Each structure stands twice: as C-alpha cells, then as structure tokens.
Structure 1
Amino acid sequence: MSNLLNYKGIHPGLVLDRELKRRSLKQRPFALSIGEHPQTLNAITKGKRSLPTALALKIEESLNLEEGVLSLLQTYYNIRQEKEKRTQQTPQLSLFRKSLFWDTDFNKLNWKQQYKAIIKRIFERGNDKEKKELIRFYGKKKVQEVLGQTSPDPYTLSTSQ
C-alpha cells in the first residue's frame, strides 16, 4: 500500500479484500476482531457499500496501515463515481436549441438509448456549437459510425446517405 496513486479510483473494499488475502486473514474473524458485523465488512469488500471513516481507522489500526489511506481511497473512489455520473448522463443541454427536437419533449430525451436519432438530427439541422458538444459527449468514433463516415471530420456528411 506504499503507493496510493496505484489504487486511486478503486473502491477501498477491493483493496482491503486483497490485503486480507495477502495476509491470509479470513473476513469473518477479522470483522469480529475489530468489533464489526461480518456482513458489513463483506459488503464493503465486494464494493457494494462505502467505507465509513470510523471503520477505516479501525481497520488501518488493526492491520498497521498508514492512517487515512483507506479513507483517502474512499474519497478518490467517490470523486471518480461523481465524475462518471456527470459525464455519462447528458451533454451540456444549454448548448442545444430545443427547437431541434420540436416533435418530442426535449427534457425527456434519453441521450444513451436514442443516440442514433439524436446524432442524425443534430448533424442534419444543428449548428457547429451543437455538433461540437455532441462529438464531445459521444466521441468522434461513435458519431462517425452513426453517420456512416470513414473520414476523420464528422462535420462533413458523406454523400452516400
């Protein structure tokens, strides 16, 4: 556990599970030895539950780990989860004109499931700013696949369509 950057963004429970296995410690006896429910520790090691700071300190003390390592891992993991949520859900909606989607409720668009129709609509009727945001959100490769292009410039629609 000497280099924290190697584990940055990984759930601390997975790191804890690895550490317990490396030391040949079983989860249940270890959990009972630190006064914790075995089910709680199991959920944490499976990545299904976050690691509270108080429990992280108990574990670090018991395993003679550097103080705060597991809490920092939990923080890095939370940051990564939040960033993924922000980037995966929707593009920056303020950059799109709602009039492009006159035939549907703009606020109910499913940007993940309806990506083909959305990409085609934006590239048929959108402006450069809208196209750039769409490329940023979906990625150049995905946009090119939908538009049936092989050229590196997705701003130019191919003549085969």
Structure 2
Amino acid sequence: MNSNLIKYKGIHPGIIIERELKKRSLKKRTFALALGEYPQILNDITKGKRNIPISLALKIEKELELEEGTIVLLQSYYDIEREKKKLQILPNLSILRKSLFWDTNINQIDWNKQYKAVINRIFERGNEEEKKEIERFYGNRKVRTVLNSQKTKPMQLSQQK
C-alpha cells in the first residue's frame, strides 16, 4: 500500500476518494460514468454510506492510477475499525441520562478516545449515581487524573461504599 495512504487507516475509503477527485478537479458524475457505474452509487460511497466492492475498487484504482489493492485495503481497515467499535465495552447507559449529552448522540461516543470530555461532563453536571458509574467504568485512578488535570479546582469524587 502507498505509504502516504497509511495515515487514512480506519477512515471510510469513499471520503478519501472524494478528496482525490477534488484534488484532480474531477466531477463525481463524470468519473462514475467513466467507470461504467451509476453516479448515485459513487455519491453514496463518497459520503461513506456504502462499502466499496472489490470490482469497483479495482476500477477506481486503475482510473486514479493508485497502487492495486489500496482501496480494498482501506475498506478492510475501515471495516475492522467498525467491528472494534461494536465490541467496545460501554458504561451502563441506562444509568447515564441522555440529556447530559444533549449535543451528541450518546450511542456514537467513543468512550475510550473521548474519556476526558465524558469524565468532565459527568462530574460537572451528573448526579451521584452517574458519577459512580463513570468511576466504575474508567476506574478511580483515571477519573482522579482527569479531574486533577483541570485548571480549576477538581470536583470531588463520589464516596465509595
């Protein structure tokens, strides 16, 4: 695989294709027709709504003069990342009020990557039960580290029984 595309691992390959088309000043419709594909299919792919079949990936690679297998590998890496997210262990969402996450879909939170924001939000606005759940999920040490790294005075940890 082309070494400069490795940085795109885990990103839907359609988004990368759209970027390439823009860089080359190619219209999606014209490009799709040149491949012998319906423009709607390419549009869905570039919006990340549809996976890329191997046969289409090979056509795109040939047309864009990419190394053979690049798009297929990116699709595989994307699929792997999606499966990892499905396997991700979550806090007990029945305890956490959805209103705490009014500005995002609680089901799309990456609990491992966004742990600092989650911990801060729960300890700013959450009740005792929610704070205990976050401490259980992340562990007292991680929660304490995040709260102590704040520039303002850290919030109190809930009392363990």
Name the TM-score, length of structure 2 as normaliser.
0.62
Unaligned runs of 5+ in 1: 92-110, 124-130
Match of 1:114 in 2: 95
- Per-residue CA distance 1:64-122 (angstroms, 9 max, x = gap): 1100001100111111111112115x36xxxxxxxxxxxxxxxxxxx224236366379
Listed as ranges, the matches of 1:1-161 within 5 Å are 2-88=3-89, 90=90, 111-115=92-96, 117=129, 120=132, 131=136, 134-135=137-138, 140-141=142-143, 150=154, 157=159
Moved over 2 A (4+): 115-123, 139-142
Change over 3 Å in CA distance of 1:27–1:141 after alignment to 2? same
Unaligned runs of 5+ in 2: 97-126, 148-153
Measure how far apart 1:151 and its partner are.
Answer: 8.0
CA RMSD in angstroms, aligned pairs only: 3.4
Measure, in 1, the Cα distance between the counterparts of 2:133 and 2:29. Answer: 56
Report which of the two structures shows the higher radius of gyration computed on alpha carbons. Answer: 1
Measure how far apart 1:6 and its partner are.
Answer: 1.0
Residue type of the partner of 2:38? H
Name the TM-score, length of structure 1 as normaliser.
0.62
Measure, in 1, the Cα distance between the counterparts of 2:63 and 2:134. Answer: 57
* Aligned sequence identity (%): 49
Measure, in 1, the Cα distance between the counterparts of 2:64 and 2:133. Answer: 57
Measure, in 1, the Cα distance between the counterparts of 2:12 and 2:134. Answer: 38
Measure, in 1, the Cα distance between the counterparts of 2:131 and 2:10. Answer: 31
